[in-house]
Structure 1
Amino acid sequence: MMRNRQRGSNLGLLLLASQVFQLGIDNIPPVTLATLGLNVYLFLFPVKPLLQTCLSVREAYWYRDWSRLLLSPFHHADDMHLYFNMASLLWKGIKLERKLGGAWFAYLLSVFSLLTGLVYLLLETGLTHMTEDSSYSLQCAVGFSGVLFGLKVVNNHYHPGGATYIMGLPVANRYACWVELVLIHIMNPGTSFVGHLAGILVGLLYTAEPLKSLMKTCAGFVISNGQYGGQQTYYNSSGYSGYGTPYPPNSGAPYRQQYDTRMPSAPPQHPYTAGLSEDEQYETAVRASLNDRGGFTQARSSRGSYAHSNPTPEEIRWRRLQRFNS
C-alpha cells in the first residue's frame, strides 16, 4: 500500500550509504549498482509526485495512465522503505548478477519490473470481480519490493538448499518467500500483499521455464535482427572462427582452413579473390593445385607450363626452327 513520503532525518539513506561503503563499491556488480543508483536518484528527484507514480487498476487501466507501470517500481514512500528494498537488492543482485551475467540480469530486472506490475493489475482486477469490492481497484502500490520477491524466487532456484532464519526459526529457502509474504503483511499491514504475491508469481513463471524460454526467444530474435545484413561471427567448439565476413555458401568452413589442412607447409593464401582479374584467379588456382601435388618443384613446372600456354612471338619462331632442324 502506498504511504505518504516522509523525509525526516533521511536515516534510511545514511544506513544505505553505510552498507554500500561497508561492502565496497568495487564489490557490487555494475547492473546492481546502477539499479540502486537509479532508485536513490528517483527518491531524491522523483519524476512525479508519489500519488502520480503509484500503480492501481483505476489509474492505470480505467484512466489509461500506463506510464505508472514503468514509474511505480522505482519510487518509494519514504527513506526507510528505500533502505530495506535496496539492502535486499544488494544481497540478491550480487549473487544473481554474478551467476547470470550483467546483460541477462539487466534484462531480467527490466522484464520483472514491467511484468510484476501487470500481474498486480490482473490480481487486483480478479479480486474486484470475485468479491465485488471496488476498493481492490483503488489500492495504489509503489516500490521495488514486488520485483525483489521475484528475484528471491530466482535466487533460491539457482542456489537450492539451505535455510533462512525468520524470527529465529529456520525456514527452508524454497519456502522462505511464502513465509515472508505472510509475516510482512501481518507485521506491517500497510504493505501491498498483492504486489508481493505478484512478484512471487513472476519469479515462478521464470523458474518454471515459460517466461525464461520466452525471454530467450525474444533475445535471440533481437540479436539475429541486429546482425542481419551485416558482418557475422561464426563459432565452433573451440571459439571464434577468425572471420568477420560470412563463409561462401555450402563451404562448411573458411577457404583458408581447407587450404591449410591439405598443405600445412604452404604459405597461407588470402581466402578471397576480390580485385584479381580472371587470368590472375586462374593462375592462382593452377599454382595451388600443382603445389598440392608436388611442392616447390612442381610449382616451377607449373609456371613453365602456364607460360607455354601463352607463348611470345619469339618463342613461337624458336619452336618452328626446332621442328625444322629436327
Structure 2
Amino acid sequence: MQRRQRGINVGLMLLLSQIYQVGVSNIPPVTLATLAVNIYLFLSPMKSLMEVCISVQEGYLNNDWQRLLLSPFHHADDWHLYFNMVSMLWKGTRLERRLGSVLFACIIAAFSQLIGVMYIVLEMLLAEILDEPIYKMQCAVGFSGVLFALKVLNNHYYPGGTSNVMGFHVPNKYACWIELIAIHIVSPGSSFIGHLAGILVGLLYTWGPLKKILTAFAGFLSCDGHPPRPTEFNSSGYARHSSDQNQQDYSRYTGGLNEEEQYERALRNSLNDRGGPQNDRRPYGFWIPTEGQSEQEEIRRRRLYRYDRQ
C-alpha cells in the first residue's frame, strides 16, 4: 500500500507555518530533530506504508523487526502528520524543557520502540482471548502512540488542571483515558490498541521501572555522569518560562484550540478536501485495514461523514 498524496499537502504547509511562527530557535533540539525526522520521512518515505507498518503477523511471526524502528515515523497522509507533529511540538517543548535534552532523547528513543512491542503483545492477547486471528493482521503506523505516552508524562510532571474533551472538562489525570475513547469514536479508523499501548508505556515510566532505567542511561551518556539540568530555550538564549508563557506559546501555534478541537478540525478539513466519504482515502489514522475489511470501513467512513455534517 503506497501513501497517496494530493498535489498540495495542506497539512504539511500548516505544520511548517506553525513551526515558523513558534520559531526554530525556540524549539528544543530533540523536539526539533523529532519533527524533522517525521517530516523528512513523510516527504521521502523509506518504504511503502504496508512495508513499514507494525503487526503481529509482519513484526513477530515474520520476524520483520525493522518495522519497530520505522512504523512510528511514517504517516498515512499530511493531516495525520500535521496533527501528530503539532501535538509533539507542544508536548515535546514542554517536557524537554523540564527533563533536559539527554533524558528526553532517551525517552523518545525508548518509547518509539516499546510502544510497538506493547502493541504486538496486546494484539496477540486479543487474538488469543477472543479467538479472532484478524487481530494478528491489523497493521499500525504513526507517532500517535508515543504522543499518548508523552501525555501521561506531561500529566505526571505538571499535575492538576483540567482538559476540554469534546466539550467536557475532565481532570488531566483522567484525560488520556477519556481521549483514548473519544478519538476512537470521532475516528473509528484510528488505532485504539496503538493509543492504549502508548498509555501503558507511559505508565511504565511514571509508575514502573522505566524512569530509573532511562534516567540512569541518560546520566551515563552525560559527560559528568549525571543528566544535565533542564534548560529553557527562547530566541534570546536560555531562560525559564512560566506555565502561562507555555500556554501562550501553545495558543499561538494552535489558534487557541485544544488537541481534540485540532483533531476534529483536521478531520473536517481532510474530509472537505476529499469531497466526502466517496473517496477511498482514510481521513486520518494510525491503523491500516487489512484485506477483507473494506465494506466495514466504508460503513465507518459514512458514519464519520454523517457525524461531521451534523
Deviation, 1:24, is: 1.2
Instruction: Give the greater-gyration-radius structure (CA).
Output: 1
* Runs of at least 5 residues in structure 2 that lack an aligned partner in the other structure: 227-310
Q: Displacement of 1:166 after TM fit?
A: 1.4
CA deviations 1:288-326 (Å, max 9, x no partner) are: xxxxxxxxxxxxxxxxxxxxxxxxxxxxxxxxxxxxxxx
Matched, 1:5 2:3: yes
Q: Structure 1 residues 44 and 234 mapped into 2: Cα distance closer, same or farther (>3 Å)?
A: closer
CA distance in 2, matches of 1:83, 1:147: 15
- Give the conservation status (yes or no) of the 8 Å contact 2:53–2:141: yes
1:159 corresponds in structure 2 to: 158
Q: Distance in 2 between matches of 1:127 and 1:111?
A: 24
Unaligned residue ranges in structure 1 (runs of 5+): 228-232, 236-326
Alignment of 1:23-34 (within 5 A): 23-34=22-33
Alignment of 1:48-87 (within 5 A): 48-87=47-86
Report Cα offsets for 1:195-243 as digits up to 9, x if no partner: 00000000001001411122234455x55xx99xxxxx799xxxxxxxx
Matched, 1:120 2:124: no
The answer (yes or no) to whether the contact 1:74–1:144 under 8 Å persists in 2 is: yes
Q: Secondary structure at the match of 2:188?
A: coil
| Counterpart position of 2:177 | 178
Q: Which has the higher contact order (CA 8 A, sep 6+)?
A: 2
Contact 2:71 2:142 in 1 (8 A): yes
Partner-residue secondary structure (3-state), 1:189: coil
Distance 1:119 1:234, change over 3 A: closer
Q: How many residues align?
A: 225
Which whole-Å CA distance do the structure 2 matches of 1:168 and 1:4 have between them? 36
Matched residue SS, 2:140: coil
* CA distance in structure 2 between the partners assigned to 1:105 and 1:165 by the alignment: 27
- The separation in 1 between residues aligned to 2:82 and 2:15, in whole angstroms, is 6
Instruction: Tell me the alpha carbon deviations over residues 250-292 of structure 1, each in whole angstroms, 9 at most, x when there is no partner.
Output: xxxxxxxxxxxxxxxxxxxxxxxxxxxxxxxxxxxxxxxxxxx
How far did residue 84 of structure 1 move?
Answer: 0.1
Q: Partner of 2:190: helix, strand, or coil? A: coil
Q: In the aligned structure 1, how far is the partner of 2:166 from the partner of 2:181?
A: 13
Q: CA deviation at 1:89?
A: 0.1
| Counterpart residue type for residue 113 of structure 2 | L
Counterpart CA distance in 1 for 2:88 and 2:217 is 26
**Equivalent residue for 1:190?**
189
Q: Against the structure 1 CA distance between its residues 34 and 62, is the aligned structure 2 distance closer, same or farther, given a 3 Å change threshold?
A: same
Which residue is equivalent to 1:146? 145
Q: Normalization by structure 1: what TM-score?
A: 0.66
Instruction: Give the counterpart letter for 1:192 in structure 2.
Output: S
What CA RMSD, in Å, does the superposition of the two structures yield over aligned residues?
Answer: 1.9
CA distance in 1, matches of 2:185, 2:160: 27
Q: 1:218-257, aligned counterparts within 5 Å?
A: 218-219=217-218, 222=220
Deviation at 1:5, TM superposition (A): 2.7
Name 1:202's counterpart in structure 2: 201
Q: Normalization by structure 2: what TM-score?
A: 0.70
In structure 1, what is the Cα distance between the partners aligned to 2:192 and 2:116? 13
What SS does the aligned partner of 1:170 have? strand
1:272-291 matches, cutoff 5 A = none
Provide the rounded CA distance (Å) in 1 between the counterparts of 2:105 and 2:218.
12
1:6/1:79 contact within 8 Å kept: no
Q: Which residue in 1 is equivalent to 2:235?
A: none
Q: Larger deviation: 89-98 or 204-213?
A: 204-213
